[in-house]
């Protein structure tokens, strides 16, 4: 399987869905992707590591810089990439706050 995606670019919906699932999507140049593909072609068991904090991909003795939007990067580093999960975890606090608001409390 795979736990991240490396490509030249991403559609916004695809990127958002992957981020919500905890799967980083990082953008790289065509040249770097070709170099990585050639290395994997030569060694299909090659381990590829993405360092989200340092914005780098490592494979064999090689590495290159990638880009991930700061908001997604910060979320992955903080362990907060699932806004729906966070919302569900805070359900009690949300209900408490809503109960204090006159326009919600009347319901």
Give me the residue spans of the domains in the chain. Answer: 5-82
Q: How far apart are the first and last CA of the chain?
A: 48
CA 97 from centroid of its chain's CA atoms: 30
Using CA atoms, how far apart are residues 33 and 10, in angstroms rounded to an integer? 14
Report which of residues 86 and 101 the model is more confident about: 101
* Superfamily for the 5-82 domain: Aconitase, domain 4 (3.20.19.10)
Numbers of helices and strands, H then E, in the chain = 6, 5
* Beta-bridge partner residues of 26: 6
Reported as a single tens digit per residue, the pLDDT across 30-46 is 999 999 999 999 999 99
Query: With a threshold of 0.85, does the pTM exceed it?
Result: no
Q: For residues 49 and 6, is the Cβ–Cβ distance under 8 A?
A: no
Angle (CA) 18 40 9, round 5°: 35
Using CA atoms, how far apart are residues 37 and 33, in angstroms rounded to an integer? 6
The answer, yes or no, to whether residue 107 has pLDDT greater than 90, is no
The answer, yes or no, to whether residue 82 has pLDDT greater than 90, is no
């Amino acid at each position: 399987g795979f736990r991240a995606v490396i490509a030249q670019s991403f559609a916004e919906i695809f990127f958002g869905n992957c981020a919500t699932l905890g799967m980083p999507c990082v953008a790289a140049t065509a040249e770097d992707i070709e170099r990585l593909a050639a290395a994997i072609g030569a060694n299909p068991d090659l381990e590829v590591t993405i360092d989200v904090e340092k914005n780098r991909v490592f494979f064999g003795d090689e590495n290159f810089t990638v880009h991930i939007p700061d908001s997604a990067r910060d979320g992955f580093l903080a362990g907060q990439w699932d806004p729906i999960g966070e919302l569900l975890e805070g359900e009690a606090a949300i209900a408490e706050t809503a109960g204090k608001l006159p326009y919600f409390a009347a319901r």
